[in-house]
Structure 1
Amino acid sequence: MNVLVLGAGQLARMMALAVKPLNINIRAFDVSSGNVVDPLTSNIIFNDLAQGIEFADFITAEFEHIDHQTLATCQASGKLRPASQAIKVGGDRRLEKSLLTQCAVANAQHKIIETKADFDQALNQLSFPLILKSALAGYDGKGQWRLKDKTTAEEVWLDIKAFFDGGEQGVKHAVIAEQMVPFDREVSLVGVRDSQGNTLVYPLTQNHHSKGVLSVSIATHVNEILQTQAQQVFDSIAKELDYVGVLAIEFFQVGEQLLVNEIAPRVHNSGHWTQQGADTCQFENHLRAVCDLPLGSTELIRPTAMINILGEDSVPNEILNVASTKLHWYGKSKRAGRKMGHINVSGKSEAQLASRLMLLANLLPEAAFDELKPYIAGYQNSLSS
């Protein structure tokens, strides 16, 4: 079986590694160069997209910000899974909010801003504080603004206007203004749906972000009420999109209610723990769905956590002395804030997992993982309270 992945980053790499035992060959379309490459070596295989499409039995994507012409070409081949509309929804918050409304899914109060009049109206209709997110270009904390009150509104508007003016010509830009949610914690659900409409979901994960970027995800046994609520949201969205593959949904937990923050039509950073914490990882399950193979189990086999490595190209070798610890590098060149790799660690119990996480936190350089130790300490305290 041959699969072409749109995008040639670490997610394509991990898909290729996960499904090699299934005799599924992955090639990746590098959107920056226009070449089709081997995602493990970056060696050029084909010189254009057309050759990649001809090679493939199926086409999928590792990220959502793909130009619409490329999506249209792949959709026309009849091989693209999930469909182009689902990928577009993940790349445009306007479409995402419309989808959530169609599915009657709870999310933050919001307003779409395309003009100064829209901006002023949002300030009058929504409650402060506000977070404003680019509809098209924002990710990992970029393309976002925060407003505590009206005192800095004009300054923020001028920055947004400059953002609009500097955007790609011919593309209508917008910002989504949202009321900030006083949430208890951030959680996410990764699930998978096949072409027959069958769905499976992994357990909800507890997430911690540092400077707008995911830094830690913890998967343990969860509140069944929240798990059921999250699965209902997943099933509703996946059905509306006629989705095929892995889909991730980020939530704010407010008491016993989950509010959708955003969706990602692809394998997701908060699902990397599945490589060590589930019988079938998210990467394999995504390709199983895309290639019409039976879905694999999504049950938690042991409490597991993932720590992102951001902007560092080395970590102490001693971390591998911590039991049930696995290190995953992405083969990238070092750059500040860049996702360079991740660490997975597991335990027989949640308490053992927390203990091993603290061992890792004590070994990792504090300058690069400055929020890790206090976060893990808080997690340990929550287990004993």
Structure 2
Amino acid sequence: MIDTQFLITCCGMLSAPHVSFPGQETFKGQLFHTARWPKEPVEFGGKRVGVIGNGATGIQVIQTIAGEVGHLKVFVRTPQYMIPMKNPKYSEEDAEAYKSRFQHLTERLPHTFTGFEYDFEHAWAGLTPERRREVIEDCWNDGSLKLWISSFAELFFDAEVNAEISGFVREKMRERLKDPKLCDALIPADYGFGTHRVPLEQNFLEAFHRPNVEIVSVKASPIERVTPTGIQTADGTIHELDVIVLATGFDAGTGALTRIDIRGRGGRSLKEDWSKDIRTTMGLQVHGYPNLFTTAVPLAPSAALCNMTTCLQQQVEWIDDCIRFVRTKNLKVVEPTKDAEDGWVAHHDEIANATLIAKTNSWYLGSNVEGKPRRVLSYCGGVGAYRQKCNEVAASGYQGFTMN
């Protein structure tokens, strides 16, 4: 047992694998979640491989092993919008030029919408249709997340703007897929671009043109169980496999802490509390849990919509300053008041519920975990705005936090 005055959790936003298929223990081949990859190399050559999931991690796996396996079955439920990633080689001169911008980036990153160096620079209503298309094309050709988080902020709030940008991305994906059946299976049609996490990829779509790659749609016929020899879907088909890769995602934001028996005042359980309502105060503390500080948990940008390095650095610095303040005042305990937490939750929800993200099922709302309370996990007001609010609380002597 470790006795400590303060507990700071740094367990990560996406660190609790979400796996829920019955029969996994019966499979006679190799089976593993992408977050629990074995240390020894996995031999895919000539084998029958199944990948469940085609989100960001599934995409990485599929595009990497498609040319190596004997036969690959990709179990797809929800198709994803995606952006082709550029992965250029940098010379020493390029690296030095980038390092020379250190001071500029240090000052800029903490105040942009997502903590990356680029930010929204255009207003949709102020541009002609031709100029909008130029901006979208330019962001697309950057080969980064720029189209998502640096084209038009309106894509998060305005359904018409989102529909036009979504149509643009679908058009780009159709140009690469060509086959109408592949387009139907791999291009989203029932939600908008940017309302889910947007993966970057390299030749992912082209992998499905290979004769050894097959799509298995599990939307109409879901996976029922894992059998000793493969995967059985609801239509009774058993897909015979040698290796199963679970790219099934995570219990995001809350999962890492609810798997620990964290107790607060009067023995209250964080797992039980968050099973009813996911609440925090700025994603930094939770009412009822004195001296517990948190990072990368819900109701802060670090829960999803941010450059994690930028956001986590800010949170850790705030926590460090808060603990220093408590000790300077010769106090022992710090905890947010219920009123302060109620106020933050209401502010968070007001912003989040105005976005299209709140209207789309995804792990951003915990929709991938059965029974998880529905709430947008990430603060959607922007990294810069969040930092300012945190700074204001600290400057006020931590108003909304009781200390004794």
* TM-score, scaled relative to structure 2: 0.28
Q: Specify which structure has the bigger relative contact order, considering alpha-carbon pairs within 8 angstroms and separated by 6 or more residues.
A: 2
Higher strand share: 1
The structure with more radius of gyration:
2
